[in-house]
Structure 1
């Protein structure tokens, strides 16, 4: 057991999918896995292990924001030996070519978070990047499945409501979408020498003011979930 995960040793798979929302974790486990066991209920951050196409996979809710995903990803890697972590969440589109329900694969993660500078000091701007092998698998599967997807840089923000950040300039520099977790996940995966990837569905477009409903965000992200699961077992 760890501080925030009350799973016994051996109950979490080597590969874990990381939705932020505990209800999405429950939905994913109940609708995509077989032989499901819920291993964590601490703080209602539900964690499940089951079988997908003959392989053991776990799903762990992380909550919102970089501090929260940092807690769960650290404990999963440090205390449970997890080797591959795939964020399965939503993001807000920024680039013109990105549309609602498109999938974004985070090749790299720009951030306004102080987590990077607090780790390395002011003299280094560490660049959090996704694992190439996972990224290549996910992109190949998405292309074969004829999904509408994009690969590139995403913005990981510290604040959901943020009127001070110039997202337009970031878009000019090729940032595709904004979210709140990937930079911390990639930073910690680098620390522990593990594989990590962010796979996200565009639930809103901040420039065009387009939005999926809360129910749609929870229940209609099946293409992204399937892509993450297929990437996990490939």
Structure 2
């Protein structure tokens, strides 16, 4: 449900928005957006949903395709990396009628029981970013949509896909904010040294770079958001990024989303 306390700005149906290069006419009444990071993944993921998915636009980091699932139009649009570009994408998509946002991508697991290729559905995010502060104070929680997450989880269970649900650490940086020792300088600010162990003890499951902005922006606007990632790094044993199960993980993610849409998000 939209936030009744804000104007919920919409634009003319033919207006092509500056960053995403899309208009309401172009997306043909789509209200669901799937948000990968890499522009090169947009077509790849859209055609997992619909082999006839069509190209919409490509501008900056935003490359978009339109797919059809169970007679519903679905946008797959890349956001680039990090919170600022995600927030811009959400703002402009909301202006042309999108209501549900599902980030899909990769992450590093920080709990021993989570393996390469496993899926993680974020219930909330630790706000280690800067973008979310421009929308709400730190006391405001970055939480996923309960109804959207519930539907995705039910689909995962139905499809017998292994999935972990819990809190995600969402950092503005890939190296220092995630306490990675494999950075260029070898230096990590004192504030972040051993932060991975602290977050592990606080039962945070993984690190990525977008969910805190996604959840905060969508919550303030009264929009629905989820984040579903596959694990490429098992940080309890190594900082190595293992892409061997990437394709399998992303396929599983897209099948979960497709199943949820086909079941009308179990509404």
Q: With structure 2 as the length reference, what TM-score do the two structures score?
A: 0.80
Q: Deviations over 1:178-206 (max 9, x none)?
A: 00000101111112111110011111112
Q: How many residues align?
A: 230
Residue number in structure 1 paired with 2:115: 99
- Local SS of the residue matching 2:93: helix
Q: With structure 1 as the length reference, what TM-score do the two structures score?
A: 0.91
Cα deviation for residue 118 of structure 1 reads 4.1
Cα deviation for residue 53 of structure 1 reads 3.5
> Is 2:219 the counterpart of 1:190?
yes
Contact 2:107 2:206 in 1 (8 A): yes
Summarize the Cα distance change of 1:155–1:220 in structure 2 as closer, same or farther, 3 Å threshold. closer
The alignment's C-alpha RMSD in Å is 1.9
1:133 alignment partner, one of 144, 147, 153 = 147
2:172 alignment partner, one of 150, 158, 176 = 158
> Is 2:26 the counterpart of 1:11?
yes
Aligned-partner Cα distance in 1 for 2:63–2:241: 26
Aligned-partner Cα distance in 2 for 1:46–1:93: 28
Structure 1 segments unaligned to the other structure (5+ residues): none
Summarize the Cα distance change of 1:190–1:137 in structure 2 as closer, same or farther, 3 Å threshold. same
| Structure label with greater radius of gyration | 2
Structure 2 segments unaligned to the other structure (5+ residues): 1-15, 177-187
Residue number in structure 1 paired with 2:99: 83
Aligned residue runs from structure 1 range 50-69, under 5 A = 50-69=67-86
> Is 2:241 the counterpart of 1:211?
yes
Cα deviation for residue 26 of structure 1 reads 1.4
Aligned-partner Cα distance in 1 for 2:245–2:61: 21
2:63 alignment partner, one of 46, 59, 76 = 46
Aligned-partner Cα distance in 1 for 2:170–2:250: 20
Contact 2:119 2:249 in 1 (8 A): no
Cα deviation for residue 72 of structure 1 reads 0.8
Contact 1:34 1:52 in 2 (8 A): no
Aligned-partner Cα distance in 1 for 2:144–2:43: 26
Residue number in structure 1 paired with 2:7: none
2:88 alignment partner, one of 63, 66, 71 = 71
Summarize the Cα distance change of 1:67–1:159 in structure 2 as closer, same or farther, 3 Å threshold. same
Cα deviation for residue 17 of structure 1 reads 0.3
